[in-house]
Structure formats: C-alpha cells, structure tokens
Amino acid sequence: MRRLLDRGNHVISLDNYFTGTRENLSRFPHPLSTRPCPADHENQRPGRTEHPGLANQCGAKVLQASASEVYGDPEISPQSEEYLGRVNPIGPRVCYDAGKRCAETLFFDYYRQYGLRIKVARIFNTYGPRMQPEDGRVVSTFITQALAGRPITIFGEGLQTRSFCFVDELVDGLILLMDSGDEVTGPINLGRPVFRGAGDSHWASGERAAEAQIPGGRAGGRAEVLASSGPRGSPPRRPFRRDFSFAQLQ
C-alpha cells in the first residue's frame, strides 16, 4: 500500500484481518479494511467471486493474486506457465489448490467474454516485515521456532526447494505487471529465481535467533531439527523448481 501511495495513487484497502492485524494499517490515513488466502489449507474459508464482475462494471483493470498451488503436485520441474498442473480433486488441500485454479478460470472467462482487462500473477513464497508468526509459511515458522528455542520442523528429508522472495521485490513485480499493456494477461510466475532447500534454510534461522539476542532464543546458531511427515494431504516432498523466465523477459 505504501508503494502505491508514494506513486500518488488513491488506495482503498479492504481487509478482514484473517491473516493480518489492524495495526498493520494504522499507520495509513483513514484505514478501512483484500481477503488474503491463508497459507494453512486447513483454515480455508469460502472465497468470493464478485471481483471480476465489479471490475467489469467499473471498466477497471483487475489483478488476480494466484499462487504456485495451481500446479499441485507437479510431475515436471521447473514448472513454466504452460504446465497445466497435477491436482488431486478430492484431497484435503483441494480447497486451496482448486480455489486458485477456479479463480484463474473465472478471470479468463471474463477476459474472453467481456474483454475485461486482467492480470494473473502466480505468487511464490514471499516474506517480509509484519508477517504473522504462526501463519504456516516456511520463513516465519523457522524463525519463530528458532527464537523460541524449539526444534525446527523439516518435512520429510528436507529435499523440497523453495524460492524465497522478499516482499519489496514482489511488489516491484506486481506493479510492473499492472503497468504492462493490456495484451499481457498472465498467468505469470512471480518469485525470486534462487532456490534453497528446506534442509538448508533452518541453519540460517538458527543463526538469526542467536544474533537477535532475544530471551529464549537458542544460542550458538544451531537449532535442533525435527523431521515430520508434513500436514495432512501434503504432496510428496520433492525438489521442485519454478520457471520465472517469462517474468524476466517482460
């Protein structure tokens, strides 16, 4: 929001605080209150489909914040935007996987039928200030566990890879996408083209806990690692990589 205000844009923010707090908006003038999609698929709530219809009525350009979950448990790596994915239609994660796929379908239906100006971004792991400590994301989970002196949880053998993108870089990508011509609709993968294994990332978290000198944080920069099978319905943990070449070309 700050980046848009600095650009001179008029911003109306709608937030139900499901994954955020009122304090995050309190520093902005006249905060009202977008419904983010929780990272924890077991805490999903029914979404809404009014956004493309409202944008069509207003003649507005609209952004769909999609995610890498549209690819499901992919059979190829890296995954480019042309890959159609592999999703279990009756699994416990389908509320999140299929929800994002359904939203993309709806947006492109409006694009084809009404000429709605759409932008579809598939956002990958993003981190930055004011994240919820218990939101289930990799970075916040590792750091929270390390600061509390708890074992750091690694799913499977820790071979799965992630692209960790700082929020400022993601905002740069979203603004560039929204400023692009109407012929650029997406979907487009947005993330940082550097991949780290979950088994590597926990060491950095342990070191940050020691450097922070927070009471209860584990000293020495090395945290105990606890292997876990992962959340219910999680796909097999394999070292997947995403293809960001299309975004780099735009």
DSSP string across 98-124: HHHHHHHHHHHHHHHHH---EEEEEE-
96 is catalytic: yes
Residue tagged active-site, from 96, 110, 111, 127: 96
Helix (H) or strand (E) segment spanning residue 126: strand 126-127
pLDDT at position 162 over 50: yes
In angstroms, rounded to a whole number, what is the distance separating the alpha carbons of residues 178 and 184? 9
Cα–Cα distance for residue pair 183/119, rounded to 1 Å: 10
Residues 57-99 have pLDDT tens digits of 999 999 999 988 899 888 888 888 999 998 888 888 888 888 8
Place of tokens 């450097």: 211
Give the pLDDT score at 24.
Answer: 79
pLDDT reported for residue 241? 58
Which helix (H) or strand (E) segment is 152 a member of?
strand 152-155
The number of helices, as runs of H, and strands, as runs of E, in the chain is: 8, 9
Angle at 101 between CA 98 and CA 105, to 5 degrees: 135
- pLDDT tens-digit readout, 88-137: 888 888 888 888 999 999 999 999 999 999 999 999 888 888 887 777 77
- Name the more confident of 244 and 34: 244
- In the chain the domains, ranked by start, together with CATH numbers, are 37-249 (3.40.50.720)
- Which residues on adjacent β-strands are paired with residue 79? 242
> CB neighbours of 183 closer than 8 A, spacing ≥ 6?
none
CB 55 within 8 A of CB 178: no
Q: Does pLDDT of 7 surpass 60?
A: yes
